[in-house]
Amino acid sequence: MINKKVEQLINKQINAETYSAYLYWSMSAALEKMNLPGFANWMRVQAQEEMTHAMKFYVHIIERGGTVKLTAIDAPPTEWSGVKAVFEAGLKHEQLVTSLINGLVDLAMQEKDHAANMFLQWFVNEQIEEEKNAMDILGQLEIVGNTAGGLYLLDKEMAARVFTPPATGQQA
Ligand code: FEO
């Protein structure tokens, strides 16, 4: 049986991951408006990934006999000043999510919920990648600056990202 305090915080995390999907979906729409369909594609794939994160938390509560409580999702911002601002906000958001995951691990350890602690380790690793992705893209944007040719090429590269659905029997 899942620890009740952990269950409560995981329910909050389902909301946070779903908000992440909403935020990235909104960023994707903004990038379309900036005529950067490749970057928009990258963000759309990111939004899909976030939904698999939310589902992973959902399944953990269900599998351990807990109660899922879904709550209202905040509206994300809809406008950014440019592509760099989008990814800066993305990195900041991932740093926040990392702190939420760390808080969950702290609570699971404090409450001696070993199953939750083990489950959460996947997210500890995932957050390294999430922050790295945003930092890498910001680094590339730094290199090309505001040159139209550079942005065009980078956009083509970003168009290549595809969403890989989780294998059967796995949530992410
Ligand atoms: Fe679900 Fe981007 O962390």
Q: Which atom of ligand 1 is nearest to the CA of 53?
A: 1
Closest residue by CA, ligand 1 atom 1: 50
Q: Which atom of ligand 1 is nearest to the CA of 130?
A: 2
Tell me the per-residue pLDDT of 97-124, one tens digit each, with 9 for 90 and over.
999 999 999 999 999 999 999 999 999 9
The number of beta carbons lying within 10 Å of the beta carbon of residue 9 is 19
Q: Which atom of ligand 1 is nearest to the CA of 49?
A: 1
d(CA 120, CA 155): 34
Tell me the per-residue pLDDT of 4-33, one tens digit each, with 9 for 90 and over.
999 999 999 999 999 999 999 999 999 999
**What is the reported pLDDT for 108?**
98
pTM summary value: 0.94
Phi, psi (degrees; rounded to nearest 5) at 59: -65, -35
Cα dihedral 140, 36, 45, 89 sign? positive
CA of 149 to the centre of ligand 1 (A): 31
Under DSSP, the state recorded for 147 is -
Domains of the chain (ranges; CATH) run 4-159 (1.20.1260.10)
